[in-house]
Structure 1
C-alpha cells in the first residue's frame, strides 16, 4: 500500500487542530464555571417542614488556580488550617444566622425570686427548648445571661438545571434543622484531581512497519501532549 505523505500530513494537522479547538472550548467552559460560581448569589427559602434551606453554585477548580481565583479561601486554608494548598482536596464554608424571640413569664415555672437580707431581690429566669437553653439572673438592675444554642446542618452537592433546557450546574445545597437558623452564605470548592501527563504501561498498535502494515505490542512510556 502506497502512503500519500501529503494526505497523512493533512490528517495529522486536522486532528491536531480539532484537539486544540476541543481543549480551548473546555478551558473556556472551565473558567466560565469558576466565574459563575464566584458571581452567584445564595438563594434561601423555607420548606414545608419549616426548615431553612440555601443553595449556591459550587465549582471545581484545579489546585494551581485556587490561589488566583479564590485568594481569601486559599489564605484561610493556609493560615487557619495550616495546610499546604497542594494537599487540599476541597473547601466548604457556611455562615449561619440564628435569631428568634424568647418570652419568659415571671411565674413559678420559669422564675425563682431570692429574698436578700439587704432588701434587694435576685430573680432567676430560665428557658429550655430543643435548640437552646437560657439562664438569667437579675440583681440590682443588672442582668447576667448564660445561654447555649446548637444547630444541625447538612450539605449535599449535585448537578441541577436552572431552567428546562439550561445547562446543568454544580450546586451546593444546605439545610438547617434548627427552625431559628438560616444559612446566610455557603461556598463549595472541589479541587480537581491532578492530571498526570507521564504514564507507563502495555501498548498495542497497528502501524506501518517499513514495508507493510502490521500489529505490534510492547511496553511504552507516554507523555500526553494534549489533555482533555
Structure 2
C-alpha cells in the first residue's frame, strides 16, 4: 500500500499547516455539499469532479481523505452538528418559558437549520441512506443522539411537572421517525404543504408527546 503523503508542518502565507489543512478540508466539504446535495449526488460524483469543484488537486484530496465516502461521512456529521447547535442555542434562549412555547421554538430552530438549505435535507435524509454498513451505522447513531436529547428534555419536563412521568424511549423514537420521514417527503416534493404547515404539524406531535395524560 502506498503511504499517504506527509503534511507540511511550517507556516506559509502567515498560516500554520493546521490552518491550511482545515481550509482545504472545508473547501472539499463545501464542494461536496453542492455536488452531493444539489446534484448530481454522491453516487454520481467522482473524486476528480469533487477536486475540480473545490479548486484543489487529487493529491490534496488524498492528503485529507482516503475515499469519497469519508467526505460524505464528515459532511453528514457537519450538517447534523449545525442542527444540534441550533437546538442547544434555542434551549438556552428559551429557558424558563412555558413548555409549549419553549419546545415549539426549539423544534422550529431545528427545522430552520435543516431546511434553510435544501442541500442539507438531501444529505441528511437521502444521500447517506444505503451507501454502506458504515454509513447506516453513523446515520442511526446520530438518530439515537436526537432520541436521547428528547428523552433528556422529557425527563426535565417531568421534574417541572409539565409532562407525564413515563418511559419516553418509544415515543421519542417514534417522533424522530416522523420528523425524518415527513421532512424527507416534503423535501422530495411528495407532500402538498408549505414548510410552515409541516413544521406546525411536527410541533403538535412533539407537544402531544410531552402532554400530561391527565
Shorter-chain TM-score: which interval? under 0.3
TM-score normalised by length of structure 1: 0.23
Quick one: higher RCO (CA 8 Å, sep 6+), 1 or 2? 1
- Structure with the largest fraction of helix: 2
TM-score normalised by length of structure 2: 0.24
- Structure with the largest fraction of strand: 1
Q: Which has the larger radius of gyration?
A: 1
